[in-house]
């Protein structure tokens, strides 16, 4: 069930009405049932995969909490192997087989591929990381093992964030499912506002920008440097509008029910460095890799060469998490190289790259670097990504680039609303917009909401295009 579908527009009010109509002791059951219905609307049997890991991690958490010494580590190891094993089978089996078998064949070892049609369960990567954070935090002593099986299952399956995050830590979410929630008009309005803004980003910006970027990156040989560059800009805002829009809707739906999900995006394209960008982009994933991969590797408390290695490895793994394809590995490695270069820059005591004097130019440089890396993300495969990059050197002024890309209706319309989005985010960054907006009369605020609704209805793309991160 998509957030931008008619089904969800019916589903959410029903969930809300029944939730607040039930006594507190029955509400977790209703939310768990609703979350199962929400998830099974995609492919019903996928829930069996999720259910298997829920059972394993639930008992693993209790086992870890009740043991001492090496036994705790054994429990954690079993949990991690189970989660990573399931993720590997569904997401990476074909990738590793297709790359490993040729190497083995060259050494005289021949392996025949099983005739399996492996489908990737929706949101498995997100679910796996959230489940792993639970057993890790129990092992570290930062979270008590959840004894209520239904509550733990709800922590994993909670429908607003289950499919595409944010990837919540147990310390933030588990206690919220035990607390009684009361209907709040304020939370309802805040939730509706977040959903409205999320739909604007998704339908008006992301899905319209996708028309341009999808066409160009599917046929990069037909475009020159102008077309490829503009398509990468369109994709940058397509993925931002899509994913941050999803997060806004998820946070809004949760807020209406009385739950608080973590902030997952903080105006990333206003960043003055790539390091800052990754502190603002997909915050729940960035902090997950920092806490569970980068710091255990040694973090920045090591020799300079080891820190660079830690950064590269962390981002390469992050790239592989995004998809079983070499293009994602390159994308992750490229971003790791950016951050490693910025780290080395500071170690050499060179002038700060994000100094006040050049903060605007640094924002532009950062945005261009990120746009370049997005090419590997946007292209359907590695071959087309390389082809698109090669076309960046084609400086011929093709009329197709100008007329079909820059001046295309969808490109112009997306650009207008992208500028509006950036204008709003700049004011929010300077803490001016919120204070001004909420100081206005109530009729003005509601008229603003109505205007956004009108813009969505008039300029939105209503083809129920899937959220881009649903494939991960």
DSSP one-letter code for 265: -
Query: Around Cβ 408, how many Cβ atoms within 10 Å?
Result: 16
Q: Measured between alpha carbons, how far is 282 from 352 in angstroms, rounded to an integer?
A: 25
Tokens of 217: 């990156």
Q: Is the peptide bond before 247 cis (omega within 30 degrees of 0)?
A: no
Catalytic-labelled residue, pool 127, 175, 178, 322: 322
Are the C-beta atoms of residues 192 and 276 closer than 8 Å to each other? no
Are the C-beta atoms of residues 424 and 193 closer than 8 Å to each other? no
Give residues with Cβ within 8 angstroms of 143, minimum separation 6. Answer: 134, 137, 169, 170, 171, 174
First to last CA, the chain: 16
**Does the annotation mark 322 as catalytic?**
yes
Q: Measured between alpha carbons, how far is 329 from 267 in angstroms, rounded to an integer?
A: 25
Give residues with Cβ within 8 angstroms of 329, minimum separation 6. Answer: 316, 319, 320
Tokens of 92: 């990476």
Q: Measured between alpha carbons, how far is 377 from 330 in angstroms, rounded to an integer?
A: 9
Q: Measured between alpha carbons, how far is 311 from 340 in angstroms, rounded to an integer?
A: 6
Active site residues: 322
């Amino acid at each position: 069930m998509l957030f931008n579908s008619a089904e969800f527009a019916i589903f959410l009010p029903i969930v809300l009405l029944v939730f607040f109509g039930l006594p507190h002791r029955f509400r977790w059951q209703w939310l768990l049932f609703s979350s199962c219905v929400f998830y099974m609307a995609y492919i019903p049997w996928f829930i069996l995969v999720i259910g298997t890991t829920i059972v394993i991690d639930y008992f693993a958490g209790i086992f870890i909490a009740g043991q001492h010494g090496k036994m705790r580590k054994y429990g954690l190891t079993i949990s991690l192997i189970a989660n990573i094993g399931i993720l590997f089978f569904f997401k990476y089996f074909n990738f590793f087989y297709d790359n490993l078998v040729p190497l083995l064949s060259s050494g005289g070892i021949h392996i025949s591929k099983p005739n399996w049609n492996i489908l990737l369960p929706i949101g498995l990567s997100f679910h796996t990381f959230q489940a792993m954070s639970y057993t890790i935090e129990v092992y570290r002593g930062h979270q008590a093992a959840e004894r209520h099986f239904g509550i733990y299952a709800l922590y994993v399956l909670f429908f607003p964030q289950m499919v595409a995050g944010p990837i919540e830590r147990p310390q933030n979410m588990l206690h919220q499912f035990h607390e009684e929630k009361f209907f709040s008009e304020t939370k309802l309005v805040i939730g509706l506002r977040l959903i409205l803004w999320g739909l604007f980003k998704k339908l008006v910006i992301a899905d319209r920008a996708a028309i341009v970027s999808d066409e160009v990156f599917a046929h990069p040989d037909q475009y020159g440097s102008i077309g490829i560059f503009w398509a990468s800009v369109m994709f940058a805002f397509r993925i931002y509008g899509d994913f941050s829009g999803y997060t806004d809707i998820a946070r809004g739906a949760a807020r209406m029910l009385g739950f608080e999900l973590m902030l997952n995006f903080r105006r990333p394209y206003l960043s003055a460095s790539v390091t800052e960008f990754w502190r603002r982009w997909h915050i729940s994933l960035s902090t997950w890799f920092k806490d569970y991969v980068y710091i255990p590797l040694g973090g920045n408390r090591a020799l300079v060469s080891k820190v660079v290695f830690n950064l590269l490895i962390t981002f390469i793994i992050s790239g592989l998490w995004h998809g079983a394809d070499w293009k994602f590995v390159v994308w992750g490695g490229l971003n790791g190289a950016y951050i490693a270069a910025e780290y080395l820059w500071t170690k050499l005591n060179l002038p700060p790259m994000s100094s006040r004097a050049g903060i605007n130019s640094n924002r532009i440089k950062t945005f261009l670097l990120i746009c370049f890396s997005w090419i590997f993300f946007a292209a359907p495969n590695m071959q087309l990504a390389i082809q698109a990059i090669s076309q960046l050197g084609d400086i011929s002024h093709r009329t197709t680039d100008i007329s079909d890309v820059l001046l295309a209706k969808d490109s112009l319309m997306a650009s207008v609303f992208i500028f509006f989005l950036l204008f709003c985010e700049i004011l929010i960054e300077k803490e001016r917009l919120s204070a001004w907006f909420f100081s206005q009369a109530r009729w003005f605020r509601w008229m603003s909401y109505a205007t956004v609704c009108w813009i969505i209805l008039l300029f939105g793309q209503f083809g129920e295009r899937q959220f881009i991160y649903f494939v991960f």
